[in-house]
Amino acid sequence: MSLRYLGFAKTVMIALLLATTPLFAINIILNQYAERRAISEMEAMGNVSLHRAEEAISTTVALLQRLDRDDIQTCNAEDRVIFEKQIVEHGMIDAIGVADGVGRRMCVTPDRELVEQVILPPRRVDGPLVGIGMLDRSYLGVRAAVISWDLKNDTRLFAEVTPAVIAIDPGPEYLRSYRRAELRLGDNLLWYTVGGYNSEGSDPGDMLSVEVASELYPLSASVTAPVSAASQLVQDLKVVAAAACAGIALLFVAIGVWLSWRPESEANDEFVAAIRNGEFIPFYQPVMDIETQRLRGCEVLMRWRRPNGVIVSPGQFMAYAENNGHIFDMTRNMMRVSSEEVGELYGENPDFKLSINLFAGHFLDREVISDIKSIFEKSEIAFQQIVVEVTERHPLQDMELARKIIAELQALGVRVALDDVGTGHGGMAYLQKLGVDIIKIDKMFIDTISSDDNSTTIVDSMVELADNLGMGIIAEGVELEEQIERLLELGVTAAQGYYFAQPMPADEFIEFAERMEEEGRERARLAAEAAAAEEAANESARKNAAA
């Protein structure tokens, strides 16, 4: 059971791994996609603002060139009327005026108080004819730009461009609250800056930034946004991917569970096939009378003979067979086979006993009674020769029913032995309630019988109890000669164990029985000879005495 759970846990782990690995990969791919997409959108934002600035500059420069060409280049009233007209015509231009070489305004339309403020870069002889400067006036973060056109007399025409023309491109919604955009003129003249997000101080690794430059003017636009803002773009997709992976994980778990349970059912199929093929066979372990050294019968012990000849002990399969209910068929088959294999031997030896092991489940159903009846009715083995063993190791669920089944078996003539006495749950209660005929003292007590006083005492009291209740006793697991001596002292007369013989196949057991019979006859012959010799000796002694 625990092994199966271990297999299940492993399956789930592997399935989760199989499902979460793609999730990681998908997340990485989605993040990369989000970053690429955000960067191209930020580039577009930068280009839009550059384009607007370029257009504003080109248009303004074209206007100033035209004024120059038309000789409208002074602060006189006539020119200023024309300036006025141009401002009305060009919505993007707020003011037009004349500036000196240093960059100070000489006059401006509409009329304004002129502070001695330098609004343009100083005029350079070899520099470009166009100059660009910035005013403090701003609109939504965009400063008003001043664009100038050099005249021949060291003065310049200039026009102020309204900040509103460089209307800010808000960009896609997911970036809007996080992005920061800047448009710079030359090295560090800031035309505009938007976006509340301050990228300074945050890890550059967490930031995306793009920079685009104008090909016409010394203009550059930069846009930055945190990576986390970009990944919002794929947030929904990530949720979908996670859900999909969870679904896949479940599928894998289901497949894994199916795969890991399948071998179980295959193993079961193999087991059932083994039963059908008669691979579960009886072995026979002799039970001896230690007083007379004669065979009293045997205990039938199941073995699994695999097709390759390997013999498997019940420890390896009995629990499985019991848990899956296969034991019923197996026991039935085993009884049938043993009734055939040793029927003749038992027919010839009516006081031999044949012990069959039953398990707790057999005492929940009367079927075992009809099985025993139908199998042994037709056989040479009489019901009186049969002993069924019920172990004390595992509790019987329904004591009342068990007692009835036992009583019915006993009515047939079958005897009932309590196996492994002293190791289990039942104890004295079992003996009395179940009404068993024989107790089998477990090897555990026999092992220490010659050395351990306590164990001797336990066996002593078992013997006493069995005597009082009129039950027989069999000692199990006898391996040493001194154990036999001790058992005899305690009044136990039946024993089984490796000292006499291990469980063996039918033909060997029949040979063993014949050998025992032979030895018994030999002993009887020797005893008779000895008795005769003694009788003869006594006779001659009597004759001598009489003579």
Three-class secondary structure assignment of 425-458: CCCHHHHHHHCCCEEEECHHHHHCCCCCHHHHHH
Whether 339 contacts 376, CB under 8 Å: yes
3-state class (DSSP) for residue 299? strand
Instruction: Identify which of residues 73 and 496 has a Cβ nearer to ligand C2E in the complex.
Output: 496
Output the smallest distance, CB 356 to Ca ion, in A. Answer: 9
Q: 196 φ, ψ to 5°? A: -80, -20
Three-state DSSP class for 464? Answer: helix
Q: What is the DSSP string of 306-359?
A: -TTS-EE-GGGTHHHHHHTTTHHHHHHHHHHHHHHHSHHHHHH-TT-EEEEEE-
Tokens 């009674």 -> residue: 369
Where do we find the tokens 């009516």?
A: 350
- CA distances 233 to 35, 172, 175, 237, 242, Å, are 9, 10, 9, 8, 16
Q: Provide the CB-side half-sphere exposure for 48 (13 A, CA).
A: 15
Q: What is the helix (H) or strand (E) element at residue 250, kind and residue range?
A: helix 235-276
Residues 380-399 that bind Ca ion (CB under 5 A): 389
Given the rule CB under 6 A, which of 30-38, 89-97, 165-173, 496-504 is the region that contacts ligand C2E? 496-504
- Give CA–CA dist 370/401, Å, rounded: 15
Which region among 16-24, 215-223, 379-387, 490-498 touches ligand C2E (by CB under 6 A)?
490-498
Q: How many CB atoms lie within 10 A of CB 514?
A: 12
Binding partner of 334, given Ca ion, ligand C2E, none, CB within 5-8 angstroms per partner class: ligand C2E
When asked if residue 540 is in the footprint of ligand C2E (CB under 6 A), the reply is no
Nearer to Ca ion, 60 or 496 (CB): 496
Among 419, 431, 445, 478, binds Ca ion (CB under 5 A): 419
Q: Which is nearer to Ca ion, 419 or 437 (CB)?
A: 419
Instruction: Please tell me whether residue 420 binds Ca ion under the rule CB under 5 A.
Output: yes
Residue 395, amino acid: P
If binding is defined by CB under 6 A, does position 318 make contact with ligand C2E?
yes
Cα separation of 465 and 438, whole Å? Answer: 11
Q: Which stretch binds ligand C2E (CB under 6 A): 6-14, 90-98, 368-376, 475-483?
A: 475-483
Q: Is 314 in the site for ligand C2E (CB under 6 A)?
A: yes
Give the tokens for residue 202: 């945050």
Q: Could you say which of ligand C2E, Ca ion, none residue 82 binds, taking C-beta under 5 to 8 angstroms by partner kind?
A: none
Nearer to Ca ion, 94 or 476 (CB): 476
Please, which residues bridge with residue 105 across strands?
99
Applying the rule CB under 6 A, the residues between 346 and 375 that interact with ligand C2E are 357-359
Cβ closer to ligand C2E: 186 or 427?
427
Indicate whether 419 belongs to the interface with ligand C2E (CB under 6 A).
Answer: yes
Which of 212, 295, 334, 387 touches ligand C2E by CB under 6 A? 334
Q: Can you point out the beta strands (E) in 186-333?
A: 189-194, 207-213, 219-226, 280-289, 294-305, 311-312
Pairing of strands 130-139, 142-150: antiparallel
Residue 79 interacts with Ca ion (CB under 5 A)? no
278 to 307: interface string for ligand C2E, x by CB under 6 A: -------x---------------xx-----
Cβ-contact 438, 418 below 8 angstroms: yes
DSSP 104: B
Q: Which of 313, 323, 324, 370 binds ligand C2E (CB under 6 A)?
A: 313
Print the binding letters for residues 321-360 with Ca ion: x by CB under 5 A, - otherwise: ------------------------------------x---
Kindly report the number of other CB atoms within 10 A of residue 413's CB atom. 12
Cβ atoms 157, 68 nearer than 8 A = yes
Q: Tell which one of 126, 315, 316, 545 touches ligand C2E (CB under 6 A).
A: 315
Min dist. Cβ of residue 394 to Ca ion (A)? 12
Distance, CA of 465 to CA of 457 (rounded, Å): 12
Which one of 79, 94, 392, 420 is in contact with ligand C2E (CB under 6 A)?
A: 420
CB of 12 to ligand C2E, least distance (A): 35
540: Cβ contacts below 8 Å, ≥ 6 apart: none
- Of Ca ion, ligand C2E, none, which one does residue 368 interact with (CB within 5 to 8 Å by kind)? none
Piece of the chain touching ligand C2E by CB under 6 A; list 33-41, 180-188, 338-346, 495-503 = 495-503
b/e map 380-409, b = 16+ CB within 10 Å: bbbbebbbbbbbbeeebeeeeebeebbeeb
Tokens of 462: 């078992």
| Gyration radius (Cα) of the chain, Å | 55
Closest distance of CB 419 from Ca ion, Å = 4
> Should residue 129 be labelled a site residue for ligand C2E when binding is judged by CB under 6 A?
no
**For Ca ion, which is the closer residue by CB, 420 or 437?**
420
Question: Which residue, 160 or 299, has its beta carbon nearer to Ca ion?
Answer: 299
Decide whether 222 or 496 has the Cβ nearer to ligand C2E: 496
Determine if 437 is a binding residue for ligand C2E (CB under 6 A). Answer: no
What is the footprint of Ca ion within residues 465-504 (CB under 5 A)?
476
Q: For residues 498-517, which are near ligand C2E according to CB under 6 A?
A: 498, 503
Residue 41 contacts Ca ion per CB under 5 A: no
Selection from ligand C2E, Ca ion, none that 483 binds (CB < 5 to 8 A by kind) is: none
41 makes contact, choosing from ligand C2E, Ca ion, none, with CB < 5 to 8 Å by partner type, with: none
| Interaction site with ligand C2E (CB under 6 A) | 285, 301-302, 313-315, 318, 327, 331, 334, 357-359, 391, 419-420, 443, 477-479, 496-498, 503
| Interaction site with Ca ion (CB under 5 A) | 357, 389, 419-420, 476
